[in-house]
A and B are shown apart, each in its own frame.
Chain A
């Protein structure tokens, strides 16, 4: 008897209630910590969160009943915690200067948009395999999105990186959306060409190197990544896109040789970047010598001070001073959480991220079609790389690069894109976990045309 996945929607609902307790409880704790009383808008905030989360849950029940039951609660907990922290830093920023505007309401709005998109994806995309038709469209749009910030008029440079576009009152990081599109484009391309790319070339030290004539795509991707680094000063995205492509290439061809080639290219690119862009040099110097007299690592050092001050159990929500760190509500939200929730909180958050990646890769493992496998792998890996690069960066494990912390950082583009990533993962996982379609006629010849129920 073959193993059949159960729906587990009840479990999901139970976990969602726990995640709401985390999100709403954190929001209440912020009010208690800062003002000594429960915030007046706790009920509206809590209700809104509940509506969004339950809405997403209902959409899953209706349209992806077999989907992974753990992903949504994990994401809901992170998003709720992030909102509470952004609200907490808002309070401190506005206490210091009443003219400042608060970030939390807009973040809640972006979360709403994210959930709406999440539901839209589940309802409109009945089968992830249909995305394969958009392989080249997605790739083209992704490239366009990456170029957009370089256009005069709408492109903006914020904090040294030219990765923003401004349209009227809205600002957006198109790279976040490009991330999702690139996964689809890579998956579609690799599914078609993986057999050719898997052909072995020369064998060096137990590793089969790819053939020279197949190097075209990886070189192209390498150049695009270098372009992002040089023209947009965006170390993080550059690393993310190249790493994503490399890993998907490895998974589709099962050839570790690609990792070797990619590793060499990455090393060369990183060294080239270090030599040519002052941006990278500053980051590496700040990483190596953050406490030097003339160090440029003020932000990193403040974040580390905050986390150290938090210690094992943290200062308590609302009782630290996370606003001391520049951009503590966005790139440095993890040190802010580390300061107020301590190592305990940071470990919990990293474990939640780890679980999300693990559920994504598990989806890839059990997925029955190659395209779905590649998309799920790509989404999980892009998520894992991003978490590693940003969390490792702010905790001085690796040089700091500007990337958002998924679901925690203030910033609409990232939040919306990540909700879409989760929706896609759930769609693939629903497909993978759904019991195998039964043959309409059990006695029919196996080789005959199969009629498959799509629901």
Chain B
């Protein structure tokens, strides 16, 4: 009977080897995967450990907008957001059961101290027998601009749907980013987990989706603010100058269709022929429609892509649910823009859609002499003893989206819009402001969107702003870029310029 017993011994050895190999696979090769919260967000051990940690702070100009304070319960630390609603879309939230969002998510490695850049600090913590602490993240935000943007939207009502983005044209720094309606991240980070669950479900059920960051996630027809891109393409082509004469009648006959393209108010733009500069000042649909027809859809698309259409260069708020939506010229699945489409696209209608951040990048690109900078929100990363470990360097997204001379001409035309055109509400005494209004039609029966993009001072731009008011619940005839959006942009510009 010894031979079968020997065979059996070998079989048992194989079984136990299989156990050993499998345990090694599970605890060594698969371990990183299983303990990664992005892949297995229900791993309560990792979650609780992370939740109990002394996370680094998120800081704006030396003031915490997210911080961990001692909680005295089993989780040791409680995440707190002092200016919760104003910064909600930037800080995001840090919850036990409902994930993390915003900078809390995109900079999680730094805040939790796991980032390789913080390795040395982690070793020092270990040697000092202290529990490891996370690094802090400071944002590029200008608190005064953020407050102006938040207050501006809030003044239109608590349930206003809108967004404001302010950029520093020379660097791409995000100076302000607000989306409304907003929410209170403290109510998701609370250690009262039933309340957190209730609050989270309520936010999800809300039709106005307060968790969405409209500044980067919502693409909407940019309306007349897109005429900046059309004007840029026109000037860049060399076929047009600011004083070139363009059609300025009451309506434009769209080829291939029986439809006509009228002006916003149905009136003439001030003569059968007007200059391109004047056409921008009065936001003449007929003029830009015909320019769009002459240039063709390809030229418009190429110009838009130079400003960033079709790409998502902004990653500082990436989390499990959030990405910057790429702005587009065509509907998904569409592969060509026909002739009437190019006229409508030229005035920011048809299937053109852009995020508020994208429109701010257009303004900032023009303000920066034609060079579009990559927008960024995370400025510096510091260890918990405040030593700077990493600082984001500004990066060029598109060198010369338009040439510097075209940028100068566009700036000049935009100053005209504010000084003697449709955007008189954006005037700031003593400062030359460049701007462009927009009122975009969406589906019939829905109120139009009010847009405004601008930058100031026109000769040495410090701030570029885009404001979108999607739905403020006001009368239809009260909706205009100048009426609703321009005052907010003006407040933000004033805050940055210190006026």
Chain A residues at the B interface, C-beta cutoff of 8 Å: 247, 250-252, 254, 291, 301-302, 304-312, 320-321, 324, 338-339, 342-343, 346-347, 350-351, 353-354, 357-358, 361, 364-365, 370, 373-374, 377, 380-381, 384, 387-388, 391-392, 395-397
Contact = CB atoms under 8 A, between A and B. Distances in A.
Chain A CB count within 10 A is highest, among B18, B19, B30, B35, for B19
Contacts of B128: none
B446 interface: no
A75 B18 CA distance: 22
Interface string B103-117: 000000000000000
Nearest to B23: A346
Nearest to A370: B1
A350 B4 contact: no
A311 B30 CA distance: 9
Contact of B48 (A247, A321, A346): A321
Contact of B8 (A291, A361, A387, A388): A361
Interface in B1-32: 1-6, 8-9, 12-13, 15-16, 18-20, 22-24, 26-28, 30-31
A307 B1 contact: no
A365 B6 contact: yes
B45 A307 contact: no
Contacts of A320: 45
Contacts of B22: 392, 395-397
A170 B68 CA distance: 50
Interface string B30-47: 110111000010111110
B27 A310 contact: yes
A405 to B, nearest CB: 12
A18 to B, nearest CB: 22
A399 B16 CA distance: 16
Interface in B365-379: none
Contacts of A251: 1, 4-5, 8
Contact of A308 (B13, B15, B35, B44): B35
A450 to B, nearest CB: 23
A301 B18 CA distance: 20
Contacts of A384: 12, 15-16
Contacts of A395: 19, 22-23, 26
Given A308-B35, A324-B44, A397 B4 contact: no
A397 B18 contact: yes
A312 B27 contact: yes
Given A291-B40, A304-B26, A354-B13, A365 B19 contact: no
A364 B5 contact: yes
Nearest to B29: A308
A392 B14 CA distance: 13
B23 A347 contact: yes
Contacts of B15: 384, 388
B26 A396 contact: yes
B23 A321 contact: no
Nearest to A338: B27
Nearest to A381: B8
Contacts of B3: 254
Contact of A311 (B28, B43, B48): B28
Q: Which 3 A-B pairs have the closest CB atoms?
A: A308-B34, A343-B27, A308-B31
Nearest to A346: B23
A346 B33 CA distance: 20
B8 A305 contact: no
Given A250-B8, A384-B15, 11 more contacts: A291-B40, A304-B34, A308-B33, A309-B43, A310-B27, A350-B20, A354-B16, A370-B1, A384-B12, A384-B16, A395-B19
Contacts of B1: 251-252, 254, 370, 373-374, 377
Nearest to B18: A397
Contacts of B2: 365
Contacts, number: 123
Contact of A350 (B19, B26, B46, B48): B19
11 contacts: A301-B42, A312-B28, A321-B48, A354-B16, A357-B12, A361-B12, A374-B1, A377-B1, A392-B18, A395-B23, A396-B26
Given A324-B44, A377-B5, A388 B31 contact: no
A361 B5 contact: yes
Chain B CB count within 10 A is highest, among A250, A308, A324, for A308
Contact of B9 (A254, A301, A358, A387): A358
Interface residues of B, number: 33
B16 A377 contact: no
A357 B11 CA distance: 11
B28 A321 contact: no
A223 to B, nearest CB: 25
Contacts of A311: 27-28, 31, 35
Interface in B417-461: none
Contact of A343 (B24, B44, B45): B24
B45 A306 contact: yes
Nearest to A306: B45
Contacts of A354: 12-13, 16
A38 to B, nearest CB: 19
Nearest to B43: A305
A347 B20 contact: yes
A354 B17 CA distance: 9
Nearest to A364: B5
A350 B16 contact: yes
B27 A361 contact: no
Contacts of A374: 1
Interface in B279-301: none
A77 to B, nearest CB: 17
A346 B19 CA distance: 10
Nearest to B30: A308
Given A312-B27, A373-B1, A357 B45 contact: no
Nearest to A315: B45
Contact of B19 (A309, A312, A373, A392): A392
Contacts of A381: 8, 12
Contacts of A342: 27
A302 B13 CA distance: 28
Contacts of A324: 44-45
A352 B266 CA distance: 89
A305 B34 contact: yes
Contact of B5 (A343, A365, A392): A365
A102 B42 CA distance: 28
A320 B5 CA distance: 41
B136 to A, nearest CB: 26
A312 to B, nearest CB: 6
Given A309-B45, A361-B12, A254 B4 contact: yes
Contacts of B4: 250-251, 254
A338 B23 contact: yes
B45 A321 contact: yes
Contacts of B40: 291, 305
Contact of A377 (B8, B19, B20, B34): B8
A307 B35 CA distance: 10
Contacts of B23: 307, 338, 343, 346-347, 350, 391, 395
Nearest to B9: A361
Contacts of A353: 16
A384 B26 CA distance: 21
A305 B13 contact: no
B293 to A, nearest CB: 51
A310 B27 CA distance: 7
Contacts of B20: 347, 350-351
